[in-house]
Amino acid sequence: MERILVIGCSGQIGSELTLALRKIYGNENVFATDIKQPPASILESGPFTILDVLDYNNLMHFAIRYKITQVYNLAAVLSGNAEKIPQQAWEINMKALMNTLELSRDTDANKLFWPSSIAVFGPTTPRYNTPQLTVMEPNTVYGISKQAGERWGEYYHKRYGVDFRSLRYPGLISYQTEAGGGTTDYAVEIYFEAIKNKKYTCFLSEDTALPMMFMDDAIKATIDLMEADESKLSLRSSYNVGGMSFTPKDVAASIQKHIPDFQIDYEPDFRQAIADSWPASIDDSVARSDWGLSDKFNLDSMTEVMLTEIRKKLA
Ligand code: SER
């Protein structure tokens, strides 16, 4: 029987992934943890504990006490925030990963999911249809920590047999919990602002294309990777995940199909340079052929769900 530890259950991914895991593995077998309070849906459906991933002793005692077999480590400082506190962000992101790698090596919690990101790529990477294996010279703190993290994950797999699995998530779009401090977050904010105020000022320029994915597809991809037979995984660094590719102008046009008087203007800030250093689209054929990555949503079908669900949420 699997007993799963989710670290970072109150964040954008964790708040949805925890519920999806509870449906599959049983509420009582998915232990949600974070340093901040989670949404009511998590508190009401199963166990929650305040736990700091940076505190290795506590983390290890927790895993032993609850006989944890799998860990999802979602704790991170995102790209925009990391640029404001480079040293701290590096320490937090790396320490959180190293603690869970050690945990997986030293306890029965051998299977570990850790998200990487399109931020592992940099300005010298081929920008369109970015291959799985290519030039990687990230120039953001967040990207450098993700790239180093991939190397460490693969190292712990080869050297110590840790069952490390990872996806290079594109920008993730969801309506349950807002992200915080990311460069792709405009694509979440824009939907909330469209419903609240019918206008949005975008911090990226209108033609900035980035790879993006709707949260439902990202959760499915994550669980599919974790459930895939080990023999199917040719990579133990991190798999490219492409989703879709669009610009702020494309999202605005998609919203205008439902809200014709929605207005957008553009005031690019420091996050523009981050976005410009990332790929515009991603080749994820290795994940598709290794373990069957698939996705369902395109921009318009995602817009429909986002607008409907945000309306309900704000009503
Ligand atoms: N969505 C993240 C960010 O913008 C990238 O992984 O920071």
Residue nearest to atom 3 of ligand 1 (CA): 182
* pLDDT reading at 255 higher than 90: yes
Compute how many other C-beta atoms are within 10 angstroms of the C-beta atom of residue 36. Answer: 9
What DSSP state is assigned to residue 30?
A: E
Q: Closest ligand 1 atom, CA of 185?
A: 4
Mean pLDDT within 62-86: 97
Q: Which residues are known to be catalytic?
A: 142
- Give the model's confidence band at 178: pLDDT under 50 very low, under 70 low, under 90 confident, else very high: confident
Rounded distance between C-alpha atoms, residue 251 and residue 58, angstroms: 44
Q: Which domains does the chain possess?
A: 4-171+213-240 (3.40.50.720), 176-211+244-279+297-314 (3.90.25.10)
- Minimal-distance CA residue to ligand 1 atom 1: 171
Q: Which of 117, 264, 276, 296 is nearest to 191 (CA)?
A: 264
**Roughly what angle, to the nearest 10 degrees, separates helices 186-196 and 248-256?**
30
Q: Which residues contact 61 (CB under 8 A, 6 or more apart)?
A: none
Which residue, 191, 167, 168, is CA-closest to 179?
191
Could you tell me if the CB of 245 is within 6 A of ligand 1? no
Which atom of ligand 1 is the closest one to the Cα of 172? 1
Q: How far is the CA of 66 from the centre of ligand 1 (A)?
A: 32
- Residues 46-69: pLDDT tens digits? 999 999 999 999 999 999 999 999
CA of 182 to the centre of ligand 1 (A): 5
Question: Does residue 137 carry a pLDDT above 90?
Answer: yes
> Model confidence over 270-307: pLDDT tens digits?
999 999 999 999 999 999 999 999 999 999 999 999 99
